[in-house]
Amino acid sequence: MTKKSEVILSGIRPTGRLHYGNYFGAVKQFLDLQARGLTCYYFVADYHALTTIKERVDYAQITLDMLRTYVACGLDPKKSIIYRQSDLPATTELALLLGMIANIGFLERGTTYKDTIAKLGVGEAGGAEGNPISYGLLGSPVLMAADILIVRADKVPVGDDQRQHVEMAIDLAQKFNSRFQREVLHIPAAVARDAVRLPGLDGSAKMGKSENNDLGLLDDPKLVLQKIKAVQTATDPGPIEGESNDPDRVIPQMPPSVGALYRLLSLTAPKDVFEDFVGKYRRKEKFYGTLKTTLAEHVNTFNAPIIAAYHSPHNTEATVKEFLVENAKRVTPVALETVESCREAMGIGRSLYRA
Ligand code: ATP
Ligand code: MG
């Protein structure tokens, strides 16, 4: 008997263009897993984009643009199954079922929910106006659990910011199985504790599409230099303890925005270039100007083939639409089987009209 191939699933919201955090937190792993010949499902989480909607946005257009970038990075819709979340309505059906067993206290511990509450400055009770957070945002971990569980994923490669949401999906699946006394849902593995989290160019803890602090994979040389030059480096270098030049040791000892530059250098430049600049920092030389121009050069070298592949005549909106149709057809039977078995486990029974 041949062993079942490991199943991988991960998604990205169509909230802007892909940035270095997305690449090193997620896409890089997608490419490694795809190269290992595993069953990889990668989707554009267009319903998740709606959790922060304020006005109409052309998500369909952003989705096509993002998928051209995915392909330009090396994702291959013949090897990986790449689809739009909204083209797999069984996911929302599963989310509804899972929502019946997700209690509010559990959802209120979600990091996105807590961060949004903190940003809005409203207390847990939400004051006289009541809690302004949407039902959709509070429930987004349930939708994410449905995304993961519907394809029976073994592994969910995500950045550190999404680690807790994967843990919530595992909790929900275990709760479902124990409550309905069947091994209906497949339990995925937890995300490694050392998952990547890239800081923003503004020195904040996370680079994000919706934060206006990102370095993009499609940014041209002029924009790259402009963004990097604008990074705050006013403070003089402080001491760095220890002899080690390991990025994970030295970067946390730097001011956050300087650390963001060094982190990007460690990801794009050869090790000796990174270590040379750590030496300059230790000796407190005047070097921020050359650090920025050197980093910009390495970023441009990294971006150049992606930009070229993004503009390839084989990578157009039409080719993307074509593979979206094909791949939605590939994932649908798998998804329907999961939903049907959950309906059965809960007692409402399988659909009478779906074959
Ligand atoms: P938004 O700000 O709209 O939420 P985002 O940049 O956070 O956008 P997502 O679509 O939410 O991107 O996440 C896509 C993937 O990229 C997830 O796996 C997430 O963990 C990862 N990711 C996003 N930002 C970072 C980051 N700064 N460092 C590491 N991984 C990241
Ligand atoms: Mg995000």
Mutation test residue for ligand 1: of 48, 137, 161, 263, the one with most atoms within 8 Å of CB: 161
Q: How many helices (H) and strands (E) does the chain have?
A: 16, 3
Residue identifier of the C-alpha nearest atom 16 of ligand 1: 22
Q: Exposed, middle or buried by CB within 10 Å (0-12, 13-18, 19+), for 183?
A: exposed
**For the domain with range 7-198+315-346, which CATH number is right: 3.40.640.10, 3.30.930.10, 1.10.760.10, 3.40.50.620?**
3.40.50.620
Atom of ligand 1 nearest to the CA of 22: 16
Handedness of CA 97, 102, 108, 110 (dihedral sign): negative
Q: Which residues line ligand 1 (CB under 6 A)?
A: 10, 12-13, 15, 21-22, 25-26, 158-159, 161-162, 196-198, 206-211
Expressed in angstroms and rounded, the spacing between residue 161 Cα and the centre of ligand 2 is 7
Provide the 8-state DSSP code for 162: G
Supply the DSSP symbol for 236: P
Domain definitions of the chain by residue range: 7-198+315-346, 221-310
- pLDDT tens for each residue of the chain, 355 residues long: 556 789 999 999 999 999 999 999 999 999 999 999 999 999 999 999 999 888 999 999 999 999 999 999 999 999 999 999 999 999 999 999 999 999 999 999 999 999 888 887 765 555 556 778 899 999 999 999 999 999 999 999 999 999 999 999 999 999 999 999 889 999 999 998 888 899 999 999 999 998 899 999 999 999 999 999 999 998 788 889 999 999 999 999 999 999 999 999 999 999 999 999 999 999 988 899 999 999 999 999 999 999 999 999 999 999 999 999 999 999 999 999 999 999 999 999 999 998 6
On whether the CB atoms of residues 7 and 154 are closer than 8 A, the answer is yes
Pairing mode, strands 7-12 and 39-44: parallel
The model's pTM is 0.93
Strands (E), the chain: 7-12, 39-44, 81-84
Which residue intervals of 121-253 are DSSP H helices? 135-138, 140-150, 163-179, 221-229, 247-250
Question: Judging by DSSP bridges, how do beta strands 7-12 and 81-84 pair with one another?
Answer: unpaired
Structural class in CATH, domain 221-310: mainly alpha
> Distance from the CA of 353 to the center of ligand 2, in angstroms?
37
